[in-house]
């Protein structure tokens, strides 16, 4: 087995084919790099699903199926992953789906990628109350609050978190990033967030850049 098999995982996930999980296990059994299986297989597959969603070839149902399939694959990969692919801790992130949003599609993968990049990550789950993000950030001494908004109706709840942080004078302590199927850079700017990322890999880059710009960590 080789890199072509990992690429096939991405295609199977994009096609919503359950055989993706079987191929993940086969790749791991064959000794292929689990980080590559995750990044070049599962992540790429979810990116393809996102592209199909943007092109209106896939809809909510396909996103949910793809998310569940990717989660199954991640659960297989998790025991084989190093705690961090980078030695020094990059920073602390709390992340979850905003109030009213019951979907964990995507943000769990973002959390895993951040962990591999050296971040300490605390997942808060779905339907997270706006103040719960802030309370968790205080408790965990977080640098970054990650907001996932999968539904267009829940995007305004991202603004609530931003407003609470500013009203409490915590904007220098916590930086807010957002993402999700119905988000984009324009909406992020409108909400007043400190950054937006369209996928897990760019979320890592965004968080590293924030740490470098605001907390003195090397990007």
Query: Of all residues in the chain, what percent carry a pLDDT higher than 90?
Result: 72
Q: Which residues on adjacent β-strands are paired with residue 119?
A: 91
For residue 72, being part of any structural domain is answered with: yes
Mind listing the pLDDT tens digit for each residue in 16-34?
999 999 999 999 999 999 9
Cβ contacts of 188 within 8 Å, gap of 6 or more:
178, 195, 196
Highest mean pLDDT among 76-85, 168-177, 209-218: 168-177
Q: Is residue 177 predicted with pLDDT exceeding 90?
A: yes
DSSP 143: S
Which CATH number covers residue 52? Answer: 1.10.1240.10
Task: Please give the residue range of the domain that contains residue 15.
Answer: 3-80
In this prediction, residue 84 carries a pLDDT of 61
Residues 74 and 96 in one domain: no
Distances in whole angstroms, Cα of residue 58 to Cα of each of 9, 204, 218: 19, 26, 38
* 92 Ramachandran zone, left/alpha/beta (phi>0; psi -120 to 50): beta
Residues 13 and 53 in one domain: yes
Report d(CA 188, CA 176) in Å as an integer: 10
Residues 34 and 137 in one domain: no
Mind listing the pLDDT tens digit for each residue in 127-151?
999 999 999 999 999 999 999 998 8
Report d(CA 33, CA 94) in Å as an integer: 28
For residue 85, being part of any structural domain is answered with: no
Residues 98 and 167 in one domain: yes
Residues 110 and 55 in one domain: no
- Which tokens hold the place of 64? 């949910």
For residue 14, being part of any structural domain is answered with: yes
Residues 109 and 63 in one domain: no
The residue among 50, 80, 110 that closes a domain is 80
Q: How many domains does the chain have?
A: 2
Which CATH number covers residue 176? Answer: 3.40.50.280
For residue 86, being part of any structural domain is answered with: no
Q: Is residue 195 predicted with pLDDT exceeding 90?
A: yes
Residues 114 and 74 in one domain: no
Residues 27 and 59 in one domain: yes
DSSP 177: E
Query: Of all residues in the chain, what percent carry a pLDDT higher than 70?
Result: 96
Say if CB 108 and CB 80 are below 8 A apart. no
- What mean pLDDT, rounded, does the chain reach? 92
pTM above 0.75? yes
What band does 47 get if pLDDT is binned at 50, 70 and 90? confident
- Which tokens hold the place of 51? 């592209």
What band does 116 get if pLDDT is binned at 50, 70 and 90? confident
DSSP 91: E
Residues 183 and 141 in one domain: yes
Question: How confident is the model over 115-119, as a mean pLDDT?
Answer: 88
């Amino acid at each position: 087995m080789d890199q072509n098999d990992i690429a096939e995982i991405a295609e199977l996930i994009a096609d919503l084919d359950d055989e993706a999980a079987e191929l993940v296990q086969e790749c791991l059994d064959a000794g292929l790099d689990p980080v590559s299986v995750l990044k070049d297989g599962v992540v790429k597959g979810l990116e393809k699903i996102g592209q199909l969603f943007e092109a209106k070839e896939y809809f909510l149902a396909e996103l949910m199926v793809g998310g569940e399939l990717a989660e199954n694959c991640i659960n297989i990969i998790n025991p084989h992953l190093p705690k961090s692919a980078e030695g020094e801790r990059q920073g602390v992130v709390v992340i979850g789906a905003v109030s009213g949003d019951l979907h964990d599609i995507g943000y769990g993968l973002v959390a895993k990628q951040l962990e591999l990049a050296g971040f300490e990550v605390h997942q808060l789950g779905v339907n997270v109350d706006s103040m719960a993000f802030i309370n968790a950030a205080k408790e965990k001494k977080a640098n970054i609050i990650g907001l996932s908004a999968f539904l267009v109706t829940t995007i305004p709840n991202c603004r609530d978190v931003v407003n609470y942080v500013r009203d409490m004078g915590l904007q220098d302590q916590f930086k807010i990033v957002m993402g999700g199927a119905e988000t984009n850079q324009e909406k992020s700017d409108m909400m007043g967030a400190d950054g937006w990322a369209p996928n897990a890999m760019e979320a890592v880059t965004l968080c590293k850049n924030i740490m470098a710009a605001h907390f003195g960590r090397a990007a």
